[in-house]
Structure 1
Amino acid sequence: MHTTDSIVLSGLSFGFDPLGPPLLDGLNATIPPGRTGVVGRNGTGKTTLLRLLSGELRPTAGHLETPGAVIRLRQDLLQRPEATVAELLGIDHVLGALRAIEAGSLEQTDYDTVGQDWDVEARAIALLARRVPSLHADGVLDRTAATLSGGELMLTAMCGLELAGGAVALLDEPTNNLDARSREALHQAVREWDGTLLVVSHDVTLLNLVDSILELHEGRLTLHGGNFDAYQEHLAAEQAAAEQAVRAAEQKLRTERRERDHVQTAMARREQKSRKDYVNKRAPRITMKSWAEKSEKVRAAENIKAAEKVAEAAAAVGAAEERVRADRSIRVDIVDPGAARGRRLAELVGTNRTVHVTGGDRIGLVGDNGVGKTSLVRHLLHPLEPRHTPAAGRLLTTRYGHLDQRLELDDAATVLEVVRRAAPERQPQEVRGALARFLLRGEAVDRTVATLSGGERFRVALARLLLADPPPELLILDEPTNNLDLDSVGQLVDALRSYRGGLLVISHDQHLLARLELDQVVELDRTGALTEHGAP
């Protein structure tokens, strides 16, 4: 029985390997009712936390308390093409029992299954009509997932959460693979959500709809009031104060070290004077011996006190530095492939016009789910394969790089080997130095790709493109921010600011497109027509 409207975590720990260190260790938090965004770097355990809250996993230590039933949006929606809309809504078993009763069944199990949900079919159809108008048609509950767009699939699953009526709903990266129209519909559903909602996302627009931000950082949970923008402002102010504290602590340490040096210098002078007095016999030897013993005790006490002050100042520096977060910004040297501005690198051939991608152009390709954006890019890269879209692509340069959401790399190779294959003439030490600017340092460079975290793998894929020799004249990015944490999205933007070649980005992420400072956005529709728009 719950005793609070909040979610309470007390000493919560979990590890997949009972012999290894836990992934989550001793988490404590009180999450209030309302909408909460969950943020943190890839690999910190955000999804695992949601699985613990939903009961899918059991904690290895500690406990958690929720205000009632917890429902979680399924993550395998795209892997269940045969599932019906009724299954996606979670009402298929109730509908089955209703139809059995309508056919004359007197089985108690059918009545128990229906419970109080005699009107569930009408409520489901009405909810779909409101949330997913494109599905408002007869027989909608029997349609399969394979016939729905990605947006329709996600919104239908959200309707299932509403019908389930749990006290707490959990969403994990719900806007991945959604087009702009579907994202807005999901955002609206979140705005109108009545109850407690936790959402893991890198969608800044979505995170700005929440009431609080729960950050998982270095094994600790911290709750920040307000939306994502407020959280960012708080974090920036906190880090500025932490950096100022480090500078003040470092100044104190320098002062104490100088004072210690002064003490030791004064002690050395007094000792030298004592030896001189002893040689000159300025007093009886027994008296000078007594003076020397007292002086030695004083010097020892002064030396210990000075050393303690230095140690305390050094500890204060260490404590202050712990509050400063490690540098997470990629710093990439300017990458200029030398392709003259205006020189054609690729063509996007629509049914109504051709869009030229030239040296220095930064173009975004957008469109609803299912119109063929990825197919167009695939035809651009593999023109001999069958084409699955009315639009076509033509690549006019052999120097190009492609980054997609799968981040395909040789798992058996080391980071250094992967990047050197793209730049075989570069010396290993030169490559190591360049990788450090991608936040890949020390032993990480010699690890195999299979052992990397998602964020590290992303940075290796990016480094392989931008450190290639010769550098690519054209970069093609296909939904690059799917499954990236917010740090990695920022690192992608930072890196691309240093790239001077042609850029073609396929993305539904309007926040990313705005940050990339594009020259224009090209929209593809279902007929294969291309429409050119100005910069976002």
Structure 2
Amino acid sequence: MPSSSSSTPSALTCTGLSFAWPDGTSVLDDLDLTVPSGRTGLVGRNGSGKSTLLRLLTGELAPSAGSVHAVGEIGRLPQDAVLDTALRVDEALGIAATRAALHAVERGEAAEEHFTAVGDDWDVEERAHAALGQLGLGHLGLDRTVGEMSGGECVLLRLAALLLARPAALLLDEPTNNLDLEARHRLYAAVDSWPGTLVVVSHDRELLERVDRIAELRDGEVVWYGGPYSVYEEIVAATQEAAERTVRAAEADVRRQRRELAEAQQKLSKRKRYGQKSYDNNVVPRIVAQERKRAAQVSAGKHRTLQAQRLTEARERLGEAVEAVRDDDAIRIELPHTAVPPGREVLLLRDLTLRHGVRLEGETAVRGPERVALVGRNGAGKSTLLRTIAGELEPVAGQVAVRVPLRFLPQRLDVLDDEATVTENVARFAPEATPNRIRARLARFLFRGAKADRRAGTLSGGERFRAALAALLLAEPAPQLLLLDEPTNNLDLASVRSLTAALEAYEGALVVASHDEPFLASIGITRRLTLNPPARNSG
């Protein structure tokens, strides 16, 4: 059963924690939270404040009020792990200075600062190679730069840096985003073997099955559920069913109380008419009739008051029951009607060579409403190919011919201007659309009222996806070819179902890069295009 706290020893504690963005948007308000040691899965709707909470725990954001107390160092793997392309691997791992001092000592330079920099970390290179190998990055030399690494490899490199740092508490924010199946399994193994406190925010069900408990952030409060995600789902489903039964019973009670109040009023009116008739016809002495009339009025008043009180109480019980029922909104995606005839060529790739050495030999054509999945290991060039098709990158050699209007939703969602509001971002893509039409479209993506006026830079990962998708789908002309790069990365499960339903109904062509196999199966992929990473030198 859910509980408001945990009795396991605490590693992280928040007291009265509040946070609001500079524009006044409140995210957390007076939150008390104790995170126990072990593995915790932090779940909640998109925009509930999960990523913000992790940043508050690490001190990257300053709370508006309240405090955070941590036992030991805290390491965080952010949702979008972007590395400077000029960094060397040892710099990304945070060991460059130690390694340089170690090499100086090995060369016979006995300066005190070298020994101070090394400290007790004489095996730093061996540990670095072990951490990289554990995560499938053994091919990376410590002197290599990260400029040619894929998004998934950047995630794993950032995680390797955290494993080397050995913080007391490790916070992972959507860590399996952009990871291929093999890389995910390596991350799962790292999670399983982590000895300290771990908090993971994820929509990856398999990852959430590996935690000791689930903490749900909902309406500014955290409720704890013992066990992995499947146990949490069972408890929530049972609680929801019980709440809905309570609502039905409360509704029936309100109807009954209304009916009894109406029947009582009818009886009292009938009795009043009979008493008045007796009084008018002198059936009983007037003094007796007046006394009966007075007593009846007193009795009627008490009865009406009692029945009205019962109806009020029944309505209050109904209100409490309704509040206990979850009303988790999901985005409503309606893709534009852009049917493509089965034989029409929408895309042609010929003898293509992409940046970083990825090659597609011969001709690859997409015709009609085909649904093509781009698959392959991290670093195989899937995002690079999509960006090349979209015209953001020039091919090194070969031809890309796009025959129809297209829209591209990139993995990093960098189509939005962080300084502009959600409404302003959408208006950039659809200058002919009226403000009312823009706001009506945004409401379908759960940006209603003041939420549509938030700056894009304050949005969570899931909110940012919704805003980017709304902007692209409102743009003119309507796309007959959609390019999607890991579209389920930042979506909660309800929103993934909505996106799936919309893509199932879409009648244009679709090219999607995704490691989410259940998602690919659900949208009716007709063909797979497998990309292989170019040969690497270990450096």
TM-score (norm 1): 0.82
- Cα–Cα, structure 1 residues 483 and 235, in superposed 2: closer, same or farther, change >3 Å? same
> Which amino acid in structure 2 is aligned with residue 516 of structure 1?
I
Please state if 1:24 is matched with 2:28. yes
Q: Which residue of 2 aligns with 1:86?
A: 90
Please state if 1:496 is matched with 2:503. yes
Q: Which residue of 2 aligns with 1:505?
A: 512
Q: Deviations over 1:298-343 (max 9, x none)?
A: 1111111111111111111211111222252445668643333343
- Count of aligned pairs between the two proteins: 516
What pairs with 1:303-382 in structure 2 (closer than 5 Å)?
Answer: 303-331=304-332, 336-349=337-350, 351-382=360-391
Q: Which residue of 2 aligns with 1:122?
A: 126
Q: Which residue of 1 aligns with 2:395?
A: 387
Judge conservation of contact 1:478–1:505 (CA < 8 Å) in 2: yes
Mapped to 1, the partners of 2:254 and 2:95 lie a distance apart of: 67
Q: Which residue of 2 aligns with 1:49?
A: 53
- Cα–Cα, structure 1 residues 355 and 320, in superposed 2: closer, same or farther, change >3 Å? farther
Q: CA deviation at 1:446?
A: 7.2
Judge conservation of contact 2:129–2:138 (CA < 8 Å) in 1: no
Mapped to 2, the partners of 1:494 and 1:301 lie a distance apart of: 57
Q: Which residue of 1 aligns with 2:4?
A: none
DSSP 3-state at the match of 1:82: coil
What pairs with 1:40-119 in structure 2 (closer than 5 Å)?
Answer: 40-57=44-61, 59-73=63-77, 78-99=82-103, 103-105=108-110, 107=112, 111=115, 113-119=117-123
Q: Which runs of 5+ in 1 are unaligned?
A: 529-536
Judge conservation of contact 1:97–1:113 (CA < 8 Å) in 2: yes
Q: CA deviation at 1:197?
A: 1.4
Mapped to 1, the partners of 2:250 and 2:70 lie a distance apart of: 43
Mapped to 2, the partners of 1:483 and 1:204 lie a distance apart of: 13
- Cα–Cα, structure 1 residues 71 and 329, in superposed 2: closer, same or farther, change >3 Å? closer
Judge conservation of contact 2:15–2:30 (CA < 8 Å) in 1: yes
Q: CA deviation at 1:169?
A: 1.0
- Cα–Cα, structure 1 residues 337 and 278, in superposed 2: closer, same or farther, change >3 Å? same
DSSP 3-state at the match of 1:145: coil
- Cα–Cα, structure 1 residues 433 and 290, in superposed 2: closer, same or farther, change >3 Å? farther
DSSP 3-state at the match of 1:143: coil
Q: CA deviation at 1:221?
A: 0.8
Q: Deviations over 1:199-240 (max 9, x none)?
A: 122333332332322221111112223333333333233222
- Cα–Cα, structure 1 residues 369 and 415, in superposed 2: closer, same or farther, change >3 Å? same
- Cα–Cα, structure 1 residues 99 and 522, in superposed 2: closer, same or farther, change >3 Å? closer
Mapped to 2, the partners of 1:393 and 1:463 lie a distance apart of: 27
> Which amino acid in structure 2 is aligned with residue 324 of structure 1?
V
Judge conservation of contact 1:42–1:453 (CA < 8 Å) in 2: no
- Cα–Cα, structure 1 residues 82 and 190, in superposed 2: closer, same or farther, change >3 Å? same
What pairs with 1:360-439 in structure 2 (closer than 5 Å)?
Answer: 360-382=369-391, 386-388=394-396, 392-398=399-405, 400-405=406-411, 406=413, 408=415, 411=420, 414=423, 418=427, 421=430, 438-439=445-446
Q: Which residue of 2 aligns with 1:480?
A: 487
Q: CA deviation at 1:249?
A: 1.4
Q: Which residue of 1 aligns with 2:355?
A: none
> Which amino acid in structure 2 is aligned with residue 497 of structure 1?
E
> Which amino acid in structure 1 is aligned with residue 269 of structure 2?
A
Please state if 1:155 is matched with 2:156. yes
Q: CA deviation at 1:527?
A: 6.0
Judge conservation of contact 1:98–1:110 (CA < 8 Å) in 2: yes
Judge conservation of contact 2:416–2:425 (CA < 8 Å) in 1: no
- Cα–Cα, structure 1 residues 376 and 10, in superposed 2: closer, same or farther, change >3 Å? closer
> Which amino acid in structure 2 is aligned with residue 356 of structure 1?
A
Q: Which runs of 5+ in 2 are unaligned?
A: 1-6, 352-359
Mapped to 1, the partners of 2:153 and 2:426 lie a distance apart of: 43
> Which amino acid in structure 2 is aligned with residue 264 of structure 1?
Q
